[in-house]
Chain A
Amino acid sequence: MDATLRFLRRNGAVLVLLVILAAVSTAAPGILRWRAINSLLQDNAPMLILIVGATLPILLGCLDLSIAAMASLAAVSAALLSPVLGSASVPVVVGGAAALGGLQGWLIGRLQVPSFVISLGALGIFKGVAMYLTGANMVGITPGIWIYDLLGSRSFGMSNSFLLVLIVAGLFAAMLKFTNLGRNIYAFGANEIAVYISGVRRDMVRSFAFATSAGCAALGGIMMISQTMFASATVAGSLLLPALVGVVVGGTAISGGVGGVLSSLIGGLIAILIRVGVTISGLPPESQDVAFGITILIAVALTTDRAKIGVVK
């Protein structure tokens, strides 16, 4: 019995995912078709990769509010650079984004300004720069660049964008579990000062976490334009809250030290399915937001492992 309980607690998010999947597929059996699942995953791949990236700063107990603005900036930059650089625009943009993210992380330590403020400021800066670069116009992607075509298409019957999400999430999960850096990230979230006194390079850990979240955000922006073929300065601007919701629904604690990339991925899938369920429920549009909000709250209540969280703030 104890073992069952422990299993339930550890895998709360997976169970919630299955329960919701069961509920949604009862109402609309078509959702279980491979094609439907694939299409949902492809649509939401940009959001999922943002969720994966956003997890690392949250594991530190930080918050990166600039991810959606970074995704837009990256989409715009990639679109502007693609005529010149072709496929190389993707590594250049992702690398540049990671560098900017790393700079954010480094500034948090250097200026000793909370991540909430730094990334809120960065949000404004990225948005402004994206506006300025485009003159508030849309930028189209030159067709025929293989990397965008690749991201927009499928292999093994599965969306390449979503496969990329899985690969990135897998890499990060392995990094968190098997490397010294991963150990340091969890410990940092649990007690920053003790970790500092243990000789861990605090600025480096923080820079890394923010570099990954910015790099993932840039990938998300690029995945998005591989679908839309157009970029604008606000193209991904609305992804911030869904991304944070996904992380939290997965059971990663805002206070840091608890959770993981795969949990967040599951959290993202839960949020997507709830949205699907609410939309096909036939509820009037005015009540859909209410239903979504309440269902998300219940899901979080179920997936949060309270045993590991001290004072709830």
Chain B
Amino acid sequence: MMMNKLSAIGLAALLASSTVAVAQDDTSKKLYLGVGNTSAEYWTQMIWGATQVMESVGGTVEVIGNDFDPQKSLQNIGAITAPGCEGCIFTWFPDSPAFTKTFVEKIADAGGFITTLWNRAEEIHPWDTAAEAWVANISFDGVDAGYQNGMALCNAMGGTGEIVVLQGVLDNAPAKQRTMGLEKAIAECPGMTVLEMQVGSWQQAPAQDITRTWLTKYGDRIKGIVGQNDAMALGAVAALREAGLAGKVFVTGTDGSSDVVKLIETGEMLSTMSGLNEYQGAIAAALAYGARTGDIKLSDLTEAQRDFFVQQILITKENATEFLARKPDPKDYTYEAIKADFWAKSAGQIPNGVN
């Protein structure tokens, strides 16, 4: 029991010491950035972009990792807003579109501003839901990614051939968008037919197991493999290597991760779609900050300015080397630089029916 008491004191001390460290800094200059995790290329690039913007105005970024768990996201937002958070600014990745409404409404209740990334339910938009707090929703065009990769595959196969598709987690919007885009490509390229689709859950190892099984099931009928993200595409390439087919079967991914771009350089992969990841982080941070400082008047914004895609580029053998060599210049990511034209790199309003 003595030990119990001691550890109770220890527990209190641990929590108190860690929590006392909280500096009550100026809420207008601190961005709460909710991300999936901090250990993947996309996220680090996005965080970098947001951090550049906030540091350019003398502010800070507090990164919150939610491990793609909406419940954890909800608890974290709750923890930040509960003690009071008038005028706080947020850029948040809602782990599931089902929760986007709850998140923005919570932040609206607390009197904060939020920009969301990637996920919203089809029926809700920044201008009709918590419109005074939800500044914008910023995503990449998954349909376009699916379509462009699909067309690249079609062209590489010479217009005919059977392909297999590694899907992401089924109820994630990007998975569905990329499938829609692929279907659009198939409609334009009727010679390309899908043998089978399976769920690789965005992960490399399951994708590798599935591809290996496909290779024994269909043998050399498979001419192309669509990986709906780069990790699954890497799994497919690994399985192809085992079968000595790497470079002979065309593989596409999406994300533009450097590993995949290197494979595109060497010819083991065909293409991947890369968003302007740093820019997405930067614009999201800048819009939230702008709304907070009054640089942006939300009521003046058009729908296309509050719910839009950021540009992306298809990487193939032609531009792979150039893509790898590029290095984002912090000067392009200051608040002032972005503010000059917030929507310079918008790829247009998000259409209906893709979420």
Task: State the A residues within 8 Å of B (CB).
Answer: 5, 8-9, 12, 15-16, 19-20, 22-24, 26-31, 33, 36-37, 39-40, 43-44, 47, 131, 134, 136-138, 140, 225, 227-236, 238-239, 242, 272, 274-286, 288-289, 291, 295, 298-299, 301-302
Q: Are A8 and B1 in contact (CB under 8 A)?
A: yes
Residue of B nearest to A15 (CB): B8
CB within 8 Å of A: which B249-283 residues: none
Instruction: Tell which of A20, A40, A137, A276 has the most Cβ of chain B within 10 Å.
Output: A276
B345 is an interface residue with CB less than 8 A from chain A:
no
Q: When chains A and B are docked, how far (Å) is the Cα of A28 from the Cα of B78?
A: 13
Q: Are A131 and B82 in contact (CB under 8 A)?
A: no
Q: List the A side residues contacting B64 at CB < 8 Å.
A: 279, 285, 288
Nearest CB in chain B: distance from A108 CB, A = 27
Q: List the A side residues contacting B70 at CB < 8 Å.
A: 235, 238
B96 is an interface residue with CB less than 8 A from chain A:
yes
Residue of B nearest to A243 (CB): B71
Instruction: Tell which of B5, B11, B76 has the most Cβ of chain A within 10 Å.
Output: B11
Given A275-B79, A276-B82, A286-B65, verify A136-B176 contact (CB < 8 Å): yes
Given A31-B83, A275-B79, verify A20-B71 contact (CB < 8 Å): no
Instruction: Tell which of A20, A22, A238 has the most Cβ of chain B within 10 Å.
Output: A238
Pick from B97-105, B218-226, B305-313, B334-342 the stretch touching chain A: B97-105
B18 is an interface residue with CB less than 8 A from chain A:
yes
Instruction: Tell which of B15, B123, B171 has the most Cβ of chain A within 10 Å.
Output: B15
Residue of A nearest to B84 (CB): A30
B38 is an interface residue with CB less than 8 A from chain A:
yes
Tell which of A39, A236, A289 touches B106, judged by Cβ atoms closer than 8 Å.
A39
Question: Knowing that A33-B83, A276-B78 are A-B contacts, what are 17 other residue pairs whose CB atoms are under 8 Å apart, sorted by A's residue number?
Answer: A9-B4, A23-B11, A23-B15, A28-B19, A30-B83, A43-B75, A43-B78, A228-B101, A228-B102, A234-B171, A242-B71, A276-B79, A277-B19, A278-B18, A295-B11, A298-B11, A301-B4
Given A44-B75, A285-B65, verify A26-B8 contact (CB < 8 Å): no
Nearest CB in chain B: distance from A39 CB, A = 6
Q: When chains A and B are docked, how far (Å) is the Cα of A27 from the Cα of B24?
A: 10
Q: Are B98 and A230 in contact (CB under 8 A)?
A: yes
Q: List the B side residues contacting A295 at CB < 8 Å.
A: 11, 14-15
Given A229-B101, A276-B79, verify A282-B23 contact (CB < 8 Å): yes
Nearest CB in chain B: distance from A302 CB, A = 6
CB within 8 Å of A: which B295-350 residues: none
Given A28-B83, A298-B10, verify A140-B121 contact (CB < 8 Å): yes
Count chain B residues whose beta carbon lies closer than 8 angstroms to a beta carbon of A.
55
Q: When chains A and B are docked, how far (Å) is the Cα of A241 from the Cα of B59?
A: 36
Given A131-B170, A234-B96, A295-B14, verify A36-B75 contact (CB < 8 Å): no
Q: Are B123 and A23 in contact (CB under 8 A)?
A: no
Q: List the A side residues contacting B122 at CB < 8 Å.
A: 138
Q: Are A16 and B79 in contact (CB under 8 A)?
A: no
List 13 contacting pairs A-B, 8 Å CB cutoff, sorted by A: A31-B82, A39-B106, A228-B99, A235-B96, A235-B99, A274-B15, A275-B79, A277-B18, A279-B79, A280-B83, A298-B7, A298-B10, A302-B7
Q: List the A side residues contacting B176 at CB < 8 Å.
A: 136-137
Inter-chain CB contacts under 8 Å: number = 181
Q: When chains A and B are docked, how far (Å) is the Cα of A207 from the Cα of B20?
A: 48
Q: Are A281 and B96 in contact (CB under 8 A)?
A: no
Q: When chains A and B are docked, how far (Å) is the Cα of A28 from the Cα of B63?
A: 19
Nearest CB in chain B: distance from A149 CB, A = 14
B241 is an interface residue with CB less than 8 A from chain A:
no
Q: Are A39 and B81 in contact (CB under 8 A)?
A: yes
CB within 8 Å of A: which B66-81 residues: 67, 69-72, 74-76, 78-81
Instruction: Tell which of B39, B98, B171 has the most Cβ of chain A within 10 Å.
Output: B98
Given A5-B1, A138-B121, verify A281-B12 contact (CB < 8 Å): no
Q: Are A279 and B75 in contact (CB under 8 A)?
A: yes
Q: List the B side residues contacting A12 at CB < 8 Å.
A: 4
Nearest CB in chain B: distance from A11 CB, A = 12
Q: When chains A and B are docked, how far (Å) is the Cα of A279 from the Cα of B73?
A: 11
Q: Are B171 and A232 in contact (CB under 8 A)?
A: yes
Given A28-B19, A275-B75, verify A9-B1 contact (CB < 8 Å): yes
Q: List the B side residues contacting A134 at CB < 8 Å.
A: 171
Q: Are B171 and A136 in contact (CB under 8 A)?
A: yes
Q: List the B side residues contacting A280 at CB < 8 Å.
A: 19, 22, 79-80, 83
Q: List the A side residues contacting B84 at CB < 8 Å.
A: 30, 33, 36
Instruction: Tell which of B12, B18, B62 has the most Cβ of chain A within 10 Å.
Output: B18
Q: When chains A and B are docked, how far (Å) is the Cα of A242 from the Cα of B73?
A: 13
Q: Are A39 and B78 in contact (CB under 8 A)?
A: yes
Tell which of B19, B65, B82, B175 touches A26, judged by Cβ atoms closer than 8 Å.
B19
Q: Are B98 and A16 in contact (CB under 8 A)?
A: no
